[in-house]
Chains A and B, each alone.
Chain A
Amino acid sequence: MYEFVRGPLVWIAFVGFFGGLAYQFITMARLAKKDRVVFPTFNAKYGLRSLLHWVIPFAGVNMRMRPVFTLLSYAFHFCVLVTPLFLMGHAVLWQESWGIRWWSLPDGVADTMSLVVIFACIFFIIRRLVRPEVRNVSYPSDFLIALLVMAPFVTGYAAHQQWLPYKPMIIIHGFSGALWLLAIPWTRLVHMLWFAFTRAYMGSEFGAVRHSRDW
């Protein structure tokens, strides 16, 4: 089983992840042509201007209105992207399998970053339950998605700490990670792909067409 997780499953996850994103992207490009206003409206300068204002913490009014959420959300997104890519354990696997060497995070830092992801997911779940405006628009799938994102970090952290037998834990970690990657193109996690496009489109509408600001 470990060999499966270590080998084919990784391939399945990556092919599924990149293939899914590519499929979504191509489908959407075709739909964007059908939606007559999309391409004529896109504007690089104003699209980037908007993106910039929404990737810099506290550059937008809404971010300044809720500092705790903003900080946590930025920390979460940073850690959720960076930790799996630069974790020492993963770096070893990259090198062993494909001979790719790259920079990796010190263990302690990676541990903290995993905890940030886990804590943020718990916070998001509690926020969904507690805030009426969020609870009102929350479906079971929203909670499942948060748990799905949390799962590889919980299992990875638990495996690293060796709280439970290492091998079974790593197998579960592998499966949860694969499931997470495979789910991204087909769930609301696809905002990872669309964020730049929706933002750039709105930035173009506000900047190039309407001569105003959208942050």
Chain B
Amino acid sequence: MADLQDIQVIDRGVDENIAKLTPERIERTINRVLTQESAARLEVYMQTCVHCGLCAESCQSYVSRNGDPDYAPVAKVKDTLWEMVKRKGKVDGEFLHNAARIAFIDCGACRRCSMYCPFGIDISYLIMTVRRIFNLLGVVPQYLQDTTNSHAVTFNQMWVQQDDWIDTLMWQEEDAQAELAGTRIPLDKIGAEIMYSVIGPEPKILAQLIANMAIIFKVAGADWTMPSGDGWDNSNMAMYSGDFETMGRVERLHWERAMQLKVKRVVMGECGHAYRGAVYDGPRWLGWTKPPIPMVHAVEYYYDLLKSGRLKIARKIEEPVTVQDPCNIVRGRGLHDKLRYVVNAICEDFRDMDPRYEHNYCCQAGGGLINCGPPWKLSRMKSNKVKAEQIAETGAHTVITPCHNCHSGIEDIIGHYKLGCHVSFISEMLVKTIEMPEA
């Protein structure tokens, strides 16, 4: 039985919009997605699943909620997609209320379950198909839809206007110069080797991360630039709200900006879903097999700098640390070993989580979950007790989270379960530990 408190949550974006739907529209929309927008994968996955339940224990929400069968990945598909198919799209408002919660809140699209299904069924793809249906019905959690609206209007996630963006970069440049003289944030430098892109929340609420990166680039002697105009934001919540048209527009502009700047590669900040959007989901929607130029995640970039000696560690952090494996750069890029190389280079006392690497549990914040906002926070916390236990077992004082969603999600978990530790991005640790050149 799904959590009663969760069932009772009223989200205006979901419930007020369900009330406006007609049975005809629901049926038409569901059948359109099932027959016109989906093909072989949906069909084969529907035929192949033998209802064995072997995926259950792969999901942090199932484990955290003491084996409540409604939180097994297969149950989430049963209570959404299977029923839609079985009833040929003839479903009612109550069904949709429940299904929206399951698709948007109970699944972080982290794909851990695909590694436990004997057939390798992409359960997260099935849930994303449900989200697509909801998007076309105009039924999306209000906070998540707001970020999608922001993407559609401003091409960034946080309604940041261009003057604010440039102003923030100039402010961060000054801050960085206070730490390391001569640090610059070069704007629109055509032909630079690297375009650095960040997610919308960085200029909005975590601006110091941009200064950190400027310092790192300066120390490493990198030839880099940032765009002054739209396309600077690599994040993409439209990908998770099911608005694939907006997702495509955002990704296209991001890559177009990089091409206009004639850079050789894009280095991106510490975010997971942005990597997924820029490298996989965006290009696929646009009909490309891969991005036009390489995308390098911050973890990979730090690894290269440390390994090649362009960054040197002057003093290691002594307190015990652990690391979260973000789904989109570990299960989605295999960066787990490089991540550990970086962490070990910076920290004396690294204590790994168990399970780890591709098998580490999801943060229950990515996949658009944390963007669904305050109405759903308690549900997220209940769904990730296992992460709290995992962190507590390491005895670490700091959880390193090279992904914004993991960062915010784990910060919430630490607060909720009173774990008494804190979270940190790698860049925050790097600026404290690297050898700075003499001014």
State the A residues within 8 Å of B (CB): 28, 31-32, 34-38, 40, 50, 54, 60-62, 65-66, 69, 131-139, 142, 188, 190-191, 194-195, 197-199, 201-203, 205-206, 209-215
Are B44's CB and A210's CB within 8 A? Answer: no
**B74 within 8 Å of A by Cβ?**
yes
Instruction: A136-B72, A188-B51, A210-B334 given; name 18 further pairs at CB < 8 Å.
Output: A28-B44, A34-B39, A35-B42, A61-B355, A133-B53, A133-B67, A133-B74, A137-B74, A138-B51, A142-B51, A188-B48, A191-B47, A191-B50, A197-B44, A198-B120, A199-B119, A202-B119, A206-B331
**Residue in contact with B45 in the complex, picked from A136, A198, A205, CB distance below 8 Å:** A198
Are B51's CB and A54's CB within 8 A? Answer: no
Distance between A3 CB and nearest chain B CB, rounded to angstroms:
36
Q: Name the CB-closest residue of B to A24.
A: B47
Are A209's CB and B280's CB within 8 A? Answer: yes
Are B69's CB and A135's CB within 8 A? Answer: yes
Q: A203 — which chain B residues lie within 8 A by C-beta?
A: 120
Q: A139 — which chain B residues lie within 8 A by C-beta?
A: 51
Give chain B's interface residue range (CB within 8 Å of chain A). Answer: 35 or more
Q: A136 — which chain B residues lie within 8 A by C-beta?
A: 53, 69-70, 72, 75, 78
Chain B 255-296, CB-CB to A under 8 Å as 1, else 0, gives 000000000000000000000000010001001010000000
Determine the distance from Cα of A133 to Cα of B71 in the docked complex, in whole angstroms: 9
**Residue in contact with A194 in the complex, picked from B38, B44, B57, CB distance below 8 Å:** B44
Are A215's CB and B115's CB within 8 A? Answer: yes
Are B40's CB and A32's CB within 8 A? Answer: yes
Contacts A131-B53, A136-B69; A61 near B75 (Cβ below 8 A): no
Q: Name the CB-closest residue of B to A205.
A: B122
Are A195's CB and B119's CB within 8 A? Answer: yes
Q: Can you list 28 A-B pairs, Cβ within 8 angstroms, ordered by A?
A: A32-B39, A35-B40, A38-B40, A54-B120, A61-B116, A61-B359, A62-B115, A135-B69, A136-B69, A136-B72, A137-B78, A138-B51, A139-B51, A142-B50, A191-B119, A194-B44, A197-B44, A201-B120, A202-B122, A203-B120, A205-B122, A206-B115, A211-B333, A212-B330, A212-B331, A212-B333, A212-B334, A215-B115
Are A37's CB and B284's CB within 8 A? Answer: yes
**B9 within 8 Å of A by Cβ?**
no
Determine the distance from Cα of A61 to Cα of B355 in the docked complex, in whole angstroms: 11
Contacts A31-B43, A137-B74; A188 near B119 (Cβ below 8 A): no
**Residue in contact with A188 in the complex, picked from B43, B50, B57, CB distance below 8 Å:** B50
* Interface residues of A, dominant DSSP: helix
**B201 within 8 Å of A by Cβ?**
no
Contacts A133-B69, A136-B69, A212-B330; A194 near B48 (Cβ below 8 A): yes
**B251 within 8 Å of A by Cβ?**
no
Q: A188 — which chain B residues lie within 8 A by C-beta?
A: 47-51
Distance between B323 CB and nearest chain A CB, rounded to angstroms:
16
**B358 within 8 Å of A by Cβ?**
yes
Determine the distance from Cα of A131 to Cα of B54 in the docked complex, in whole angstroms: 11
Determine the distance from Cα of A194 to Cα of B39 in the docked complex, in whole angstroms: 15
Q: Name the CB-closest residue of A to B280.
A: A209
Q: A212 — which chain B residues lie within 8 A by C-beta?
A: 330-334, 336, 358
Determine the distance from Cα of A142 to Cα of B45 in the docked complex, in whole angstroms: 16
Contacts A136-B75, A211-B334; A40 near B62 (Cβ below 8 A): no
Determine the distance from Cα of A149 to Cα of B44 in the docked complex, in whole angstroms: 21
Q: B416 — which chain A residues lie within 8 A by C-beta?
A: none
Distance between A19 CB and nearest chain B CB, rounded to angstroms:
17
Determine the distance from Cα of A179 to Cα of B138 in the docked complex, in whole angstroms: 46
Chain B 25-47, CB-CB to A under 8 Å as 1, else 0, gives 00000000000001111111101
Are B120's CB and A214's CB within 8 A? Answer: yes
Q: Name the CB-closest residue of A to B355.
A: A61
Are A214's CB and B119's CB within 8 A? Answer: no
Determine the distance from Cα of A187 to Cα of B403 in the docked complex, in whole angstroms: 42
Q: B78 — which chain A residues lie within 8 A by C-beta?
A: 136-137
Contacts A136-B70, A137-B53; A36 near B120 (Cβ below 8 A): no
Are B287's CB and A36's CB within 8 A? Answer: yes
Are B44's CB and A198's CB within 8 A? Answer: yes
Distance between A196 CB and nearest chain B CB, rounded to angstroms:
10
Distance between B123 CB and nearest chain A CB, rounded to angstroms:
11
Q: Name the CB-closest residue of A to B47.
A: A190
Q: A210 — which chain B residues lie within 8 A by C-beta?
A: 280, 331-334
Determine the distance from Cα of A205 to Cα of B289 in the docked complex, in whole angstroms: 12
**B52 within 8 Å of A by Cβ?**
yes
Are B49's CB and A31's CB within 8 A? Answer: no
Distance between A152 CB and nearest chain B CB, rounded to angstroms:
19
Q: B56 — which chain A residues lie within 8 A by C-beta?
A: 133
Are B51's CB and A214's CB within 8 A? Answer: no
Chain B 103-132, CB-CB to A under 8 Å as 1, else 0, gives 000000000001110111110000000000
**B58 within 8 Å of A by Cβ?**
yes
Determine the distance from Cα of A209 to Cα of B289 in the docked complex, in whole angstroms: 10
Q: A213 — which chain B residues lie within 8 A by C-beta?
A: 115, 334, 358
Determine the distance from Cα of A28 to Cα of B336 in the docked complex, in whole angstroms: 36
Distance between A144 CB and nearest chain B CB, rounded to angstroms:
12
Contacts A34-B39, A134-B51, A191-B119; A214 near B72 (Cβ below 8 A): no
